[in-house]
Amino acid sequence: MSGGVDSSVAAGLLLEQGHEVVGATLKLWGGASDSGCCSVADVDDARRVAQTLGVDHHIFNYTEEFERHVVAPFVAGHAAGQSPNPCIECNRHIKFDLLFERAARLGFDAVATGHHAQVLSRGGQYFLVRGADDQKDQSYVLGYLGNEQLSVLLLPIGAMRKSDVRREAERLGLRTWDKPDSQDVCFIEASKGREVFLRSRIDVTPASIVDRQSGEELGSTSAAELMTVGQRRGVLPGRDGEKRYVAKVDIAGKRVEVGRLEEILVSEILLDEPSLTFSHDVLADETQVLAQWSAHGRAQLATLHHGREGGRGWRLMLHAPARPVAAGQTVVFYRAGEPEIVEGAAIVVGS
Amino acid sequence: MTNQYYFDHAASAPRRDEVADAMQRWQHGVVGNPSGSHRAAREARRAVEEARDEIAAFVGAKPGGVIFTGGGTESCHLAVAGVASHHRRHHQTTSIVVSRIEHHAVLDAVELMARDYPNVSVHYVDVDSDGVLDLESLAGALDGDTAVVSVMCANNETGVLQPLDGVSALVRERPAGILTHSDAVAAAPWLDLAEATAGVDMVSICAHKIGGPVNSGALILRSDVAIDAVVPGGGQERGRRGGTVDVAAAVGLATAARLTAIERCEVAARVARYQQELFAALGAMAGCAITAPGTARLPGTVHVTFEGLASDELLFLLDQAGVCAAAASSCSSGAAVASHVLAAMGMAPERARGSLRLSMGAETTQEDVDALIVIMASVVERLRAEA
């Protein structure tokens, strides 16, 4: 129970379905955040919701693990010019790894969360499916869940629309019913942003922004670590008035290359083989998938090819060219024939 | 319904019936403001002053030195911040000396002073691996700027007793003017404070650790201490703590103190046996280490660590089995966090993660202890089996 409306309602619905429910709030971040130090306000909300529902509530401290598995790699990734997704890492290593293990040790049969996603059981196998509310679907950040985890995962609000979740919260008398959705990375304060956070951990690198065609310097950035290939935000248009997109980030060279959209488009994404998971079936060469590489991006038709660069690893061939995808980001694969079903995930090496 | 075994006296002791009865009179109808001049006020004032006499006797001080406060945290804050505030108005520089294992009531108060006043600094005194104050480190921290030294009587997490006599002796060797404060909140149920804190200028106590109400405590000044009010308000408590004195809270504190003093020897002897039984039983469990073994401590505190286990999980299963216990260290969200006390003792963070504090009091019975041992064995066995 994060203290948000989704997990509040998830707990309430489970209770109404007759389950024996215990609420757990994970304390992940010890520093400042938008909900205050230690996320006290969120913990208070979760505790009060549990009280209202009449269920026990416990706080589990995972601050050290969060620092080790999520925050430190986030910082290291940026320092190395990558763009890791901390929410995916948190789900993977904290919620659906450490918490699942703990739940089993403490004698629970299942773990439930308030994610907008669904679990489908078919032929003795479990599949993750997109949430019913396509605006709120969170299957992307859960893309790494495997069969074993899905078999003990309950997602009580996954079939609901967000507006219905809020209505249920109101019906249940939960004070989180009108609480705004959380937007961003939980350990970064919106008013300060990623740059302030990164500056507190590493020296960031000022760099010039150079047009890759003309070689002309179009501007500068105070932190090359925060520039991501494909991004347009923070990049001024070229002299021709056309928009420019980041094509290449060279932190050591203190240089960010930008280009017009058609110059930067790619049709191939290289994947990190050890990070690749694929549900149930052995991944055959030239498998067609719908690939999505941001939480709210649109899934694109693509084909997985084995044997990049001298026959090793996997690459994703896009059927239509797209803006490049930065190393460290995660691609989630959805089934080409059944676009709601998650097939697997992989971390991007480059594009 | 599962039986409840209450092993968290150090967090809050069960409220005594006699306390509730004594407070009853001051919680209904007309309760005069003790600062007033009419009969209702006089009645209230009399109850407050009787309570003051009892608190003075409890700590071995004069009634005029007793300042009623809203609890242990306020008492500690008033002692260190009040003295530092007065000192810095009369000196170029002010130094506050505290042990690293003080309660946050003290630590946060002195940090605030250092943050707000450039001429105030804080010096931290080390403890040894058993959590006992290092007197050499204290000697090195004292200098001509020292305004106040704060060392707790016994630590609230480990129960380990601190060498207050040594502290007083060291301070007495220095030029006059250094004041001493001792947070006796954890020690109050167990030690004769008149004796244990004899050489200390200021003593903090609170009611709810001895069976009284929460939001009730006192700072007792044993000598003529130059102190500023933190909340001056209407000049109550001789200008040292503003705000209408809560008659019921003062009566509750005094009643709890009186009862504690009467039964202290019997309770301490009985609970000390429970403590030995628990140390023997827990110490025999796989991966269990007694914190500061063999070190003099309060009879009611059993602090142990379980290698490879997490406090969160121990507490969850104990709670399921009806045992109320604590990790003894939590942040404002309520999550168990790494203890500054164990860190100061040099305990590895991995070991500190498996901390458990089982604290007892007058109400603890042999049956509670027997049940706890059985439950602990099954909880630890279960976590070890699953791990």
Here the CATH number for the domain that contains residue A134 is 3.40.50.620
Are B157 and B339 in contact, with CB atoms under 8 Å apart? yes
Least confident span in A57-71, A298-312, B32-46, B95-109: A298-312
Residues 6+ apart with CB under 8 A from A239: A214, A216, A218
Q: What is the pLDDT of residue A41?
A: 84
Among B140, B124, B158, which Cα is nearest to B301's?
A: B158
Q: Is the pLDDT of residue A105 over 70?
A: yes
Q: What is the pLDDT of residue A319?
A: 97
| A85 and A166 part of one domain | yes
Residue A41 in any domain: the answer is yes
| A259 and A277 part of one domain | no
| A274 and A247 part of one domain | no
Considering its fold, how many domains does chain A have in total?
3
Q: Which CATH class is domain B17-258?
A: alpha beta
Instruction: Report the DSSP pairing between strands A245-250 and A255-259.
Output: antiparallel
Residue A142 in any domain: the answer is yes
Query: What does the pLDDT profile of chain B (387 residues) look like in tens digits?
Result: 578 999 999 999 999 999 999 999 999 999 999 999 999 999 999 999 999 999 999 999 999 999 999 999 999 999 999 999 999 999 999 999 999 999 999 999 999 999 999 999 999 999 999 999 999 999 999 999 999 999 999 999 999 999 999 999 999 999 889 999 999 999 999 999 999 999 999 999 999 999 999 999 999 999 889 999 999 999 999 999 999 999 999 999 999 999 999 999 999 999 999 999 999 999 999 999 999 999 999 999 999 999 999 999 999 999 999 999 999 777 767 777 789 999 999 999 999 999 999 999 999 999 999 999 999 999 999 999 876
> Whole-model pTM above 0.90?
no
Q: What is the pLDDT of residue A310?
A: 62
Cα–Cα distance, A270 to A268 (Å, whole number): 7
Does the beta-carbon distance from B333 to A43 stay under 8 Å? yes
| A235 and A330 part of one domain | no
Cα–Cα distance, B330 to A58 (Å, whole number): 13
Residue A191 in any domain: the answer is no
- Considering only CB atoms, A59 lies closest to which of B319, B333, B386, namely B333
Beta strand residue intervals within B199-332, DSSP E: 202-206, 217-221, 288-290, 301-306, 323-324
* Tens-digit pLDDT profile for residues A156-174: 999 999 999 999 999 999 9
Q: Is the pLDDT of residue A37 over 60?
A: no
Does the beta-carbon distance from A38 to B335 stay under 8 Å? yes
Cα–Cα distance, B260 to B282 (Å, whole number): 28
Structure confidence at residue A239 as a pLDDT band (50, 70, 90): confident
Which residues pair with residue B148 across a beta bridge? B96, B179
Q: What is the pLDDT of residue B369?
A: 98
Cα–Cα distance, A292 to A340 (Å, whole number): 12
Q: What is the pLDDT of residue A313?
A: 79
| A209 and A251 part of one domain | yes
| A293 and A155 part of one domain | no
- Considering only CB atoms, B333 lies closest to which of A40, A102, A106, namely A40
Burial of residue A248 (number of CB atoms within 10 Å: 0-12, 13-18, 19+): middle
Cα–Cα distance, B137 to A75 (Å, whole number): 38
Give the distance from residue B383's alpha carbon to the nearest chain A alpha carbon, in angstroms. 6
| A80 and A112 part of one domain | yes
Q: What is the pLDDT of residue A34?
A: 66
Cα–Cα distance, B16 to B10 (Å, whole number): 15
Domain interval for residue A152: 5-171
Does the beta-carbon distance from B336 to A39 stay under 8 Å? no
Q: Which of A171, A196, A217 is the last residue of a domain?
A: A171
| A131 and A274 part of one domain | no
Cα–Cα distance, B220 to B96 (Å, whole number): 19
Q: Which residue has the tokens 């060469």?
A: A285
What is the side-by-side order of every strand in the sheet holding B355-359? Answer: B288-290, B301-306, B355-359
Q: Which of A171, A196, A212 is the last residue of a domain?
A: A171
Helix (H/G/I), strand (E/B), else coil: A10:
helix
Q: Which CATH class is domain B5-13+264-386?
A: alpha beta
Q: Nearest chain B Cα to A108, which residue?
A: B317
| A34 and A132 part of one domain | yes
Residue A29 in any domain: the answer is yes
Q: Is the pLDDT of residue A230 over 80?
A: yes
Q: Which of A236, A264, A292 is the last residue of a domain?
A: A264
| A139 and A237 part of one domain | no
Q: Is the pLDDT of residue A108 over 80?
A: yes
Residues 6+ apart with CB under 8 A from B364: B6, B7, B9, B271, B274, B300
Does the beta-carbon distance from A39 to B334 stay under 8 Å? no
Helix (H/G/I), strand (E/B), else coil: A201:
coil
Task: Report CA B216 to chain centroid distance, whole Å.
Answer: 13
Q: What is the pLDDT of residue A273?
A: 86
| A214 and A273 part of one domain | no
Residue A26 in any domain: the answer is yes
| A260 and A271 part of one domain | no
Q: Is the pLDDT of residue A298 over 80?
A: yes
CATH number for the domain harbouring residue A242: 2.30.30
Q: Residue ranges of the domains in chain B?
A: 5-13+264-386, 17-258
Are B178 and B87 in contact, with CB atoms under 8 Å apart? no
CATH number for the domain harbouring residue A319: 2.40.30.10
